[in-house]
């Protein structure tokens, strides 16, 4: 049987996304989300927040950056990656989610920060890009950027809302 590494989460951004570029000009966006979980503690239900770091690559990182603001609810589809490094002679590691797809969902935070219009009716049926040509990101292979399912004309310049 083949190994499987697939993660799907819906949560809210805990901070605005950071967009950086490699020396080759490849875009990398880092952000984190909080995913609430309800569990029973005795006779009461309690909310428990879990926090996950997410990395998004390529054109998706560039085009979604302006919409990935603190408090915004998003859906993330990706895979787990373990970053390993050495610090002060000690091996270190952390697990991050390498996003293949990110979709914008409901409203933002109550503060209405950023350019998101919290008063507008959210559209749940519109993906963040053309669903016929989903972006397949292979992670940090910076010499070979991700391949898109169609030509560049199939991807809109701005995300319509």
CATH number where 123 lies? 2.40.50.140
Q: How far is CA 100 from the centre of its chain?
A: 8
> For residue 92, is it within any domain?
yes
Work out the number of other CB atoms within 10 angstroms of the CB of residue 161.
Answer: 13
> For residue 160, is it within any domain?
no
**Residue whose tokens read 């690559």:** 57
pLDDT of residue 133: 43
| Closest to 132 (Cα-Cα) out of 106, 154, 152, 113 | 154
Average pLDDT of the chain is: 77
> For residue 2, is it within any domain?
no
Task: Please report, rounded to a whole number, the percentage of residues in the chain having pLDDT higher than 90.
Answer: 57
Q: How many domains does the chain have?
A: 1
In this structure, the strands spanning 7-13 and 90-104 are unpaired
Work out the number of other CB atoms within 10 angstroms of the CB of residue 33.
Answer: 24
> For residue 1, is it within any domain?
no
Q: Pick the more confident residue, 37 or 148.
A: 37
Please state the pTM of the whole predicted model.
0.62
- What is the C-alpha separation between 99 and 33, in angstroms, rounded? 12
């Amino acid at each position: 049987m083949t190994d499987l590494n697939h993660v799907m989460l819906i949560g809210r951004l805990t901070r605005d996304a950071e967009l950086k570029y490699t020396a080759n000009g490849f875009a990398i966006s880092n952000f984190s989300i909080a995913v609430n979980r309800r569990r029973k503690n005795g006779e009461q239900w309690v909310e428990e927040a879990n926090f996950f770091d997410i990395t998004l690559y390529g054109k998706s990182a560039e085009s979604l950056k302006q919409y990935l603001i603190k408090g915004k609810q998003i859906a993330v589809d990706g895979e787990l990656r373990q970053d390993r490094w050495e610090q002060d002679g000690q091996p270190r590691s952390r697990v991050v989610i390498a996003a293949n797809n990110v979709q914008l969902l409901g409203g933002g935070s109550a503060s209405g920060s950023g350019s998101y219009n919290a008063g507008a009716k959210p559209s749940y049926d519109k993906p963040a890009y053309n669903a016929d040509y989903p972006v397949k990101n292979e992670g940090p292979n910076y010499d070979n950027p991700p391949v898109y399912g169609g030509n560049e004309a199939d991807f809109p310049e701005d995300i319509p809302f």
